[in-house]
Amino acid sequence: MSESATPRVPASLRETPLCRWHAAHGGRMVDFAGWNMPVQYTSIVDEHLAARAAVGLFDVSHMGRLSVTGPGSLDWLESLLTRKVAGIAPGQFRYTLVTADAPGPVVILDDALVSRDTDAADGSPRMGLVVNAGNRERVVAWLRSRLPAAGVDLVDQTLATAMIAVQGPQAVELVATLCPPADGARIIALGTYRGTTASVAGRLAAVSRTGYTGEDGVEVTVAAADAVAVWEAILAAAAPLGGRACGLGARDTLRLEAGMPLYGHELLPHTDPFAIGLGLAVNLEGRSFPGSGALAIMKAATPERVRIGLDLGSKRSAREGNLVFTSGGDGREVGVVTSGSFAPTIGHAVAMALVDRDRAAEGGMLDIAIRDARQPARVVGLPFFKRSPAGGGKPPAA
Amino acid sequence: MQKDVRFAKSHEWIAPGEGGVATVGISAYAVEALTDLVFMQLPTVGRKVKAGESIGEIESVKAVSDLYAPVSGEIVEVNTSLPDHLETLGKDPFGAGWIVKLRVDDPAELASLLDRAAYDALIGSQPH
């Protein structure tokens, strides 16, 4: 074993409004993208299974929350994002990529959720972006560099707010019970990727039917000062159902089972989004945005490598960077693992990988080099786990 | 736990026994720090190992860790039931959760390892 079983947390990390709560409640704090975050409280497996069976609470306040307001905000984002922004209805969220101009290949700065709301006073669009913690500063810098002289205000709300993901088959109803009846009814009626405002545990909140676990659920955004009260109210209501606070470890295994790409792993600055199943995040029809020309070339081409699922059937896991080879025979290198772990719901290890197109057919066998061993794995369709459709809406594509 | 048990800084324990054969495992602290153990690979019996050499691996949901030989010697027995019952490591890390038995080359090597008090001081200084 390594000498230090747990990483030391540098003193200069950013803290979410819930950071002290996590540390005081057994959270194992680690440096995640410069934030002091809980990787787990008790057990990743127990936390993962709680989210699948009942409800899990995740502090996702480290993710970047940007507001884009002003009369020009909608058109400005329409000119910058890979998804069509003009068609977004008030209260709707869309998954998009944030791309930058560059000579040569497209540069994907991040994947993000873009949303639209309406200003109560003057009816102008109020747009929102949720971006990855590790990409927030460069996305903000990129967006600022493209701001017009007037008509658009970009404000980074990350530090002023907190975001709590409440995920699991009982999540939506649970949050609704903490609201006045009319607000609760609106939350239960929300379609997937739709949002509303509500009073949650007596605090003003933005509630969206979004998440990153493959479960039904909501994400609740509140003022930083309200974070602990809302978190504790949701957790207290969740506990009798078997719900629990979950760390980033469970969030990662949940999204892996759900086959969701993660920036920095499946999705890199020069990734071909069409090769990893994110074609739906790129709308090129009659549109022009930074990198749209390069993306059009990618879309027309046949990718060399594509994203697949691998079922190892073993307890031993493949990890990011493990090379993938043809099965037996010549053992030619044909790909690389982008994410892999023991999958608690499935009971053995699974992985996502980029492999040569001619090796991507479901049912085929490949070998993964894990340390000094070759682990056979079967090519399977994604996601590895799909929830039963008993909950509202259908799971998002990504 | 027997009194003369020694610890490596890498969290393995070693307990001297009859005929120069010592028992090796990992500490309760290490098991607790790893959590969510899912896989373990044991060395083959008869393998000769040097102190600090990897003799196997233990994998949690998050990461893989090497198991290191605390002293030089020959692997004379492995706990074959352990990989299918990793929960034993949590329940009884210093007893039923033993990992390998090692015929120690040089008993004096054990003296270079940490005693119980020194190990407790080491883990007391680490974040939990």
* Token pair of A347 as six digits: 């009971």
- What does the pLDDT read at residue A243? 98
A332 near B CB under 8 A: no
CA-nearest of A387, B14, A346 to A378 is A346
- What does the pLDDT read at residue A124? 87
In a domain, B13, yes or no: yes
In a domain, B82, yes or no: yes
In a domain, A197, yes or no: no
- The reply to whether residue A342 touches residue B39, judged by beta carbons under 8 angstroms, is yes
In a domain, B57, yes or no: yes
CA-nearest of A319, A375, A345 to B63 is A319
- List C-alpha distances in Å: A339 to A59, A205, A267, B10, B109: 22, 33, 11, 27, 41
Residue at a domain's end among A102, A135, A158? A158
In a domain, A50, yes or no: no
Chain B closest CA to A78's CA: distance in Å?
A: 39
CATH code of the domain containing B92:
2.40.50.100
* A314: containing domain: 304-383
User: How does residue B50 score in pLDDT terms, banded at 50, 70 and 90?
Assistant: very high
Q: How far is it, in rounded angstroms, from Cα A41 to Cα A59? A: 12
- What does the pLDDT read at residue A4? 59
Chain B closest CA to A342's CA: distance in Å?
A: 6
Contact B127, B47 (CB under 8 A): no
Amino acid at A91: G
Chain B closest CA to A1's CA: distance in Å?
A: 5
- Give the contacts of A112 (CB within 8 A, at least 6 positions apart): A81, A95, A96, A97, A98, A129, A130, A131, A132, A139
- The reply to whether residue B35 touches residue A40, judged by beta carbons under 8 angstroms, is yes
- The reply to whether residue B67 touches residue A1, judged by beta carbons under 8 angstroms, is yes
A5, A40, A342 member nearest B38 (Cβ): A342
* B55: containing domain: 6-106
pLDDT in tens, chain A (398 residues): 776 555 555 669 999 999 999 999 999 999 999 999 999 999 999 999 999 999 999 999 999 999 999 999 999 999 999 999 998 999 999 999 999 987 777 799 999 999 999 988 888 899 999 999 999 999 999 999 999 999 999 999 999 999 999 999 999 999 999 999 999 999 999 999 999 999 999 999 999 999 999 999 999 999 999 999 999 999 999 999 999 999 999 999 999 999 999 999 999 999 999 999 999 999 999 999 999 999 999 999 999 999 999 999 999 999 999 999 999 767 899 999 999 999 999 999 999 999 999 999 999 999 999 988 899 999 999 999 999 875 444 444 43
Number of domains in chain A: 2
Q: Provide, as residue numbers in chain A, all residues whose Cβ is less than 8 Å from the Cβ of B39.
A: 314-317, 342
In a domain, A336, yes or no: yes
Chain B closest CA to A294's CA: distance in Å?
A: 37
In a domain, B81, yes or no: yes
Contact A146, A131 (CB under 8 A): no
In a domain, B66, yes or no: yes
- What does the pLDDT read at residue A391? 47
- The reply to whether residue B57 touches residue A1, judged by beta carbons under 8 angstroms, is no
Residues 347 through 386 of chain A touching chain B, CB cutoff 8 Å: 349, 371
CA quadruple B59, B63, B64, B67: dihedral, nearest 10: -80
- What does the pLDDT read at residue A7? 53
Enter the ipTM: 0.88
In a domain, B28, yes or no: yes
A249 near B CB under 8 A: yes
- The reply to whether residue B38 touches residue A315, judged by beta carbons under 8 angstroms, is yes
At residue B128, does pLDDT exceed 90? no
A42 near B CB under 8 A: yes
Chain B closest CA to A396's CA: distance in Å?
A: 26
pLDDT tens digit string along A8-35? 556 699 999 999 999 999 999 999 999 9
* Token pair of A68 as six digits: 């884009």
In a domain, A251, yes or no: no
CATH code of the domain containing A90:
3.30.70.1400
B26, B39, B67 member nearest A316 (Cβ): B39
Residue keyed to tokens 């979410």: A16
In a domain, A133, yes or no: yes
Other CB atoms within 10 A of residue B27 CB: 24
Residue at a domain's end among A158, A181, A202? A158
- Give the contacts of A165 (CB within 8 A, at least 6 positions apart): A57, A58, A60, A211, A212, A213, A217, A218, A219, A220, A251
Bond preceding residue A389 cis, omega within 30 of 0: no
- What does the pLDDT read at residue A394? 41
- What does the pLDDT read at residue A395? 42
Mean of all residue pLDDT scores within chain A: 94
Q: What average pLDDT does the segment B93-112 reach?
A: 96
In a domain, B114, yes or no: no
pLDDT tens digit string along A29-56? 999 999 999 999 999 999 999 999 999 9
A5, A39, A342 member nearest B34 (Cβ): A5
In a domain, A119, yes or no: yes
The chain B residue lying nearest A5, using CA atoms, is B33
In a domain, B121, yes or no: no
- What does the pLDDT read at residue A331? 86
Q: Provide, as residue numbers in chain A, all residues whose Cβ is less than 8 Å from the Cβ of B38.
A: 315, 317, 342, 349
pLDDT tens digit string along A384-398? 999 987 544 444 443
Number of domains in chain B: 1
pTM listed for this prediction: 0.94
Residue at a domain's end among A158, A191, A225? A158
**Rounded to an integer, what is the distance from CA B128 to the centroid of its chain?**
20
CATH code of the domain containing A334:
2.40.30.110
